[in-house]
Structure 1
Amino acid sequence: MVPPDFHHRLDSRLLGPVGAARLWWSFPDDADARRDAARIPVTPEAPLPHPSSGMLGVTWLGHASALLWVDGVTVLVDPVLSPGIPGAAKRLTPPGRTVETLPPIDAVLISHDHYDHLDVRTFDALPRSTRILAGLNTAAFFRARHFTDVVELDWWSSVGLPGRSGEVRVEFVPARHWSRRTLTDTCRRLWGGWVVTAPDGRAVYHAGDTAYGPFLRRIAGRHRRIEIAALPVGAYAPRDLLREVHMDPAEAVRAAGVLGVRRVVPIHWGTFVLSGEPVLEPIEATRREWVRAGYDRDDLWELPIGGSRTL
């Protein structure tokens, strides 16, 4: 049986060989990247929040990897905690935690199958009973690695997890992106983001990897109490090549306005060289755009790698 194909969900132009070559040659010099990365604050093995009733929070583990804390439920999103990934040099900054020092996890959420979001070496170190939530047609990938509790979701589908105050809903939502791990599986697995909602309706949104798009208004219409959003701000240059698959800092700040979210955690920067902008430019530009938009500087949750913040 031929597996499903999600090309019909694409509204982005994917890079061809010429574009990929241009992207590769745009990368900053490795020495410059590592010099800049040395200025990124890292607090490995910092104390973690204690899961509790009514609490919402985020721990940034580097790149798009994060722990989300919602009413006593702890979910791990896009864990990439190994020294490097295929197609990129060794990571510029260490992960915020090792697999061995992760807290008890209620579920792992995978936004899509790109190597900087789905890392086999990290999953090899996780118990095979770990619950995994991912997009359609992703379960076979994990079952081949002997994971026993894998749930596939379509956009706008959700599952419940028991929280301290009631059921916490975990919903897979659209993103403007794509998927591929090999030359023959382009768009075979569905990509997306995650909204984790507490019993009282307050929510945390992790966008995964995405360009700006009209789907954000649909998410906002469906989830009217997103309190914290982890939004990607890096891997956007050259802009003509990447605007259809990655937000830039200005678009991330605009997305916060569309979502009606007050607090934003900038992610998807400072860990790997994946594009042409200097390593520190994403966070510096995000700060400028945040202030230009008139938002409270304290609501830009600029976490150190390994750092946490909660409501």
Structure 2
Amino acid sequence: MKKLLLTFAAALSIGTVTTAFANSDIQTDNKGKQLADNFQQLSRDTVWEPKENIELQFNSYHPQGMTKIGDLYYMSSVEVLEKPVKYDQPRDGYDRTPGKGIGHVFVFDKQGKLLKDIKLGEGNIYHPGGIAFDGKSIWVSVAEYRPNSKSIIYKINPETMEAKEMFRANDHIGGILSDGKKGNLKAVSWGSRTFYEFSQKGKIVSKSSNPSHFIDYQDCESAGNENMICSGVTELPQQGSSAGKYELGGLALLNMKTMNMVHELPITLFSSQGHNVTRNPVYLENSQHGMKLYGIPDDEHSTMYVYEAKLDKK
């Protein structure tokens, strides 16, 4: 009887995931264009109104990236079992030890209840980065927890929750998304200092340096019409203060074809633990009055902060 109940519960969870996928509000080109247009109305003066604080009902470890399909949320996270330690001098091209850990993609509902835990990675490759949904699949990069290392790129089917390895890359890929046109993949390295474009078989189509040093991009999503929106933070020293470093958060709209900056702005929203809301997982979507921002900046006992910016309708 106990086994039967467990099987039934699992079926309910998968059924919930499948139903949400079938009813998902996939970002079409028109909605993506609207998102990009709305984004360009944002500025430092934009008022972000708090809408919800949703406590996650599970240990989120160290969240990294997030996407949303229907009423379900998909969040990548790294469970660190042994922290990497910096070397006094680089060894074999690395600046630190590999550490140990487990990569996760958590699926949860709008109440913060965990529905599925998908484990990804192998060996020293256990650190997931930013993730994105292309209308059919969720793309996830999992890398070593150190720069200039190696990564595995996965594609997850949201209906079956199955992950498939697509290719491997000789760098730390910190975030990845499909361009939605040619089917190629845009990616950022550790700290987003390098932009990559890959074919879905892993061939490097292009590689360039990121000219912007405003923030390090962590999580990116398509915004239609060959645009992408990236979020992240940079840590700034606070001289004469014992409070440590200041997290400057921000959002950026990039042209996926040229990787040139279209529009960017700082975000000055902070969690109860003092982290900027764009520190790690971020998701943006159109709303009835403008745009909604979802952020999960804190580790382990996390809250998903939801804000809305009211914008002029064009």
TM-score, length of structure 1 as denominator length: 0.31
Instruction: Choose between structure 1 and 2 for higher RCO, CA contacts under 8 A separated by at least 6 residues.
Output: 1
Greater share of residues in helix: 1
Larger radius of gyration between Structure 1 and Structure 2 = 2
TM-score, length of structure 2 as denominator length: 0.31
